[in-house]
Structure 1
Amino acid sequence: MTTTMLQAVARVHWGRWIADCPRPGCVNAEHHGRDAVTGHVGGLTGGRFRCAHCLLVCEVVWPADVDDISRVLASRPVPANRNWAPPETVHDLLVENLVHGILPDADALGGGFQVSGAARLALESGVI
């Protein structure tokens, strides 16, 4: 049940989907799913955010392309580099990967994506 007009916004931090509490003055963030180390289930679920600190319950805004974002970030070998936040696009993530020498596998994004602009020129010229 939503108890406020505030909305939490999902983002990725170190490879984990999280959302910051939108209540002014609260500095908590909640994660999605079960923590691999502690087993704790976070307060970020499909459509709901529940802050463990201030007890705010509100809706969550998720990007339409969660699976694509997760797939592109998973190809980054260092968890600290697996980050995404709106308004960044999947294309932006792919370009970042290419700039750092991480080439997408053939199955990325369902088997097809297009590289354009500076990243395409860099690939074609052998810079990356």
Structure 2
Amino acid sequence: MPVRAYVNHSRWVADCVRLYCGGAELLRPGQSVVWCSNCTLVAPVEWPGDPQAIWDELMTRPVPQTRNWYPRDHEVAVRHGIPHGQTVADLREEAAAHAHELMPGGAPAGLEGGTSWRGLLR
């Protein structure tokens, strides 16, 4: 059974498919096989049709934690009610819809004190 590549916080990742394992591995773009460092399962990697276009669009976002993409019906995305199966156009639209929430430099707009979290400590 193949593992499914997805983007989590600016990194390509795949979850192990072995029952009860719970392992996840970082992937290199185009990697065809993954070895689970937790349970030692070796599995093929299923990539989206155009991973580079997805990556390029996500990299336009200034905050690494907002760079996420899941394939359609990915178990984690479905369980947590987050978007999955997004096209590059969907990602672009999502970023535009949230652009007003960020200041130049990527800090949340409601954060006083510029791009530092120190503004929260006042």
Q: TM-score range by the shorter chain?
A: 0.5 to 0.7
Identity percentage over the alignment? 40
Any stretches of 5+ residues in structure 2 without a counterpart? Answer: 72-84, 101-122
Q: Secondary structure at the match of 2:68?
A: coil
- How large is the RMSD of aligned CA atoms in angstroms? 1.6
Structure 2 distance, partners of 1:88, 1:19, is 17
Where relative contact order (Cα < 8 A, 6+ residues apart) is larger, the structure is 1
Q: 1:52 aligns with which of 37, 41, 44?
A: 37
Scaled by the length of structure 2, the TM-score of the pair is 0.67
Instruction: Establish whether residue 30 from structure 1 lines up as the match of residue 25 from structure 2.
Output: yes
Alignment length, in residue pairs?
A: 87
What stretches of structure 1 move > 6 A for 4+ residues in a row? none
The Cα of 1:58 is off from its aligned counterpart by 0.8
Per-residue deviation, residues 7-58 of structure 1 (Å, max 9, x unmatched): 100000000000000111111100024xxxxxxxxxx861001100100001
Instruction: Establish whether residue 74 from structure 1 lines up as the match of residue 59 from structure 2.
Output: yes
Instruction: Establish whether residue 19 from structure 1 lines up as the match of residue 4 from structure 2.
Output: no
The Cα of 1:101 is off from its aligned counterpart by 2.2
Scaled by the length of structure 1, the TM-score of the pair is 0.64
Any stretches of 5+ residues in structure 1 without a counterpart? Answer: 1-5, 34-43, 103-128
